[in-house]
């Protein structure tokens, strides 16, 4: 018979971590094998017996007279505990599985998951419902591009605007805050539903929500920069945004918000950059546009991914546009105060010719939005004529 291995604990007691050495020594022994344990701690036999009983191992007193104080008989409770354990995919993106087991819960991707335990209510557990191959690199880019409002914006730069122009800026900023609050709530709601197995998408949506929170801050600060009050909020504008908040489907919500709504906002922010009457307004809109471009990129990439695996997707996207159009058919559309403020900003002065020029600039903005939506719809596989039709059904409230 092969002699049992012996572990010498020296002066180390179980209250000081001796169990780690015993556990390590038992790890490679088969069930039923014995491990001799010796040491100089007076309480060693008592503590060893208590620990072994808790771990499912046996203990017998030593009678060999060779200094071994007790033998631990290797049990199998710890082996049985992990008998049905599985790896939750792999830690890197190439280890993502097509479907996440709800019972994995908050286990790290790639971890060996003990069977049983709670199953949090993540209802988005299928990769193709949330994934885009661009998500990991887009998240890395988003993290690197984060900016601080106090550092990126020269809030104390000196400028003076006529009262009417400042009022127009405030009205547009009020409108932007309202829309960005919707754009904050939607990804925040969606990311809480995604199984952590698809953490890159969760991380990306978390940064997106942080982007929108920052936009709300800077647009509000610009609106209040000269000590005035915020502008008006129309019922029709809030009705339009409410239809985004009630869309439960991840892909449809991404489509309506990011591909159509925020895509149109890219044109609006470029318009405000071109026609900003002061450097602060130009800076806040330019920095926000940088963030919004990433949001749109993910929305398009996700829908391209899903379209490749779901032939029915485009029909569902069309249905979402039509339902939203029908729900808003009797609303007033874009807040007239916002439209007029955009005209004033593009005009720059109160002459008939300037107002005509400003009105034409806003009309061209709407045309640019229409063309941009068509372009993104074509990228998703819609024929050009259908893309034009669907774009024309998009809300008059821009978002």
The string of DSSP codes covering 222-244 is HHTTTS-------HHHHHHHHHH
Q: Are residues 222 and 321 in the same domain?
A: yes
Place of tokens 């010796």: 38
The chain-wide mean pLDDT, for the chain, equals 95
Average pLDDT (114-133) is 94
Q: Are residues 73 and 162 in the same domain?
A: no
* Cα distance between residue 191 and residue 202, in whole Å: 5
Q: What is the pLDDT of residues 217-259, one digit of tens each?
A: 999 999 999 998 999 999 999 999 999 999 999 999 999 999 9
Overall domain count for the chain: 3
81: its two tokens: 């505990």
Q: Are residues 225 and 354 in the same domain?
A: yes
**Percent of all residues in the chain with a pLDDT value above 70, rounded to a whole number:** 99
Q: Are residues 94 and 55 in the same domain?
A: no
Q: Are residues 213 and 354 in the same domain?
A: yes
Confidence check: pLDDT of 144 > 90: yes
Q: Are residues 27 and 95 in the same domain?
A: no
Q: Are residues 214 and 272 in the same domain?
A: yes
Average pLDDT (284-291) is 98
Kindly state whether residue 118 falls inside one of the protein's structural domains.
no
Residue-number span of the structural domain to which 86 is assigned = 82-113
Q: Are residues 98 and 72 in the same domain?
A: no
Kindly state whether residue 398 falls inside one of the protein's structural domains.
no
Kindly state whether residue 26 falls inside one of the protein's structural domains.
yes
Q: Are residues 105 and 71 in the same domain?
A: no
Kindly state whether residue 348 falls inside one of the protein's structural domains.
yes
The enclosing domain of 35 has a CATH number of: 3.30.110.40
Q: Are residues 188 and 336 in the same domain?
A: yes
Confidence check: pLDDT of 1 > 70: no
Kindly state whether residue 185 falls inside one of the protein's structural domains.
yes
Q: Are residues 93 and 203 in the same domain?
A: no
Kindly state whether residue 32 falls inside one of the protein's structural domains.
yes
* Cα distance between residue 122 and residue 100, in whole Å: 10
Indicate the pTM of the whole model. Answer: 0.88
76: its two tokens: 């199998």
The enclosing domain of 223 has a CATH number of: 1.10.620.20
Q: Are residues 207 and 219 in the same domain?
A: yes
27: its two tokens: 């790890």
What is the DSSP-derived secondary structure letter of residue 126?
Answer: B
Place of tokens 């309506």: 256
The pLDDT, as a whole number, for residue 65 is 62
* Cα distance between residue 379 and residue 205, in whole Å: 22
Q: What is the pLDDT of residues 180-226, one digit of tens each?
A: 999 999 999 999 999 999 999 999 999 999 999 999 999 999 999 99
Cα–chain center distance at 129: 14
């Amino acid at each position: 018979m092969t002699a049992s291995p012996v572990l010498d604990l020296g002066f180390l007691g179980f209250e000081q971590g001796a169990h780690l050495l015993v556990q390590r020594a038992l790890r490679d022994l088969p069930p039923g094998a014995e491990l001799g344990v010796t040491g100089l701690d007076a309480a060693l036999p008592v503590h060893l017996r208590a620990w072994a009983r808790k771990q499912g191992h046996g203990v017998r007193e030593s009678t060999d007279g060779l200094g071994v104080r007790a033998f631990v008989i290797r049990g199998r409770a710890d082996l049985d505990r992990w008998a049905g354990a599985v790896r939750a995919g792999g830690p890197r993106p190439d280890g993502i599985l097509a479907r996440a087991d709800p019972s994995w819960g908050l286990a790290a991707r790639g971890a060996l998951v003990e069977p049983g335990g709670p199953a949090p209510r993540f209802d988005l557990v299928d990769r193709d419902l949330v994934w885009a191959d661009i998500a990991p690199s887009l998240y890395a880019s988003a993290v690197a591009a984060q900016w601080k409002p106090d550092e990126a914006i020269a809030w104390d730069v000196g400028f003076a605007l006529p009262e009417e122009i400042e009022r127009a800026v405030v009205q547009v900023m009020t409108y932007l805050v309202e829309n960005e609050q919707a754009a904050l709530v939607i990804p925040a709601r969606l990311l809480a539903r995604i199984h952590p197995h698809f953490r890159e998408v969760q991380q990306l949506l978390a940064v997106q929500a942080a982007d929108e929170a920052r936009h709300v801050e800077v647009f509000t600060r610009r609106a209040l920069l000269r000590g005035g009050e915020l502008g008006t909020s129309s019922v029709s504008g809030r009705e339009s945004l409410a239809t985004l908040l009630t869309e439960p489907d991840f892909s449809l919500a991404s489509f309506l918000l990011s591909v159509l709504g925020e895509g149109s906002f890219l044109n609006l922010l470029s318009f405000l950059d071109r026609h900003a009457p002061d450097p602060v307004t130009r800076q806040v809109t330019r920095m926000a546009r940088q963030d919004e471009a990433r949001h749109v990129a993910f929305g398009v990439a996700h829908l391209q991914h899903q379209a490749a695996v779901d032939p029915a997707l485009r029909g569902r996207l069309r249905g979402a546009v039509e339902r939203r159009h029908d729900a808003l058919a009797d609303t007033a559309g874009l807040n007239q105060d916002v439209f007029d403020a955009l005209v004033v900003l593009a005009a720059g002065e109160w002459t008939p010719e300037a107002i005509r020029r400003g009105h034409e600039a806003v009309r061209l903005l709407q045309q640019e939005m229409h063309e941009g939506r068509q372009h993104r719809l074509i990228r998703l596989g819609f024929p050009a004529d259908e893309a034009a039709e669907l774009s024309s059904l998009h809300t008059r409230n821009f978002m």
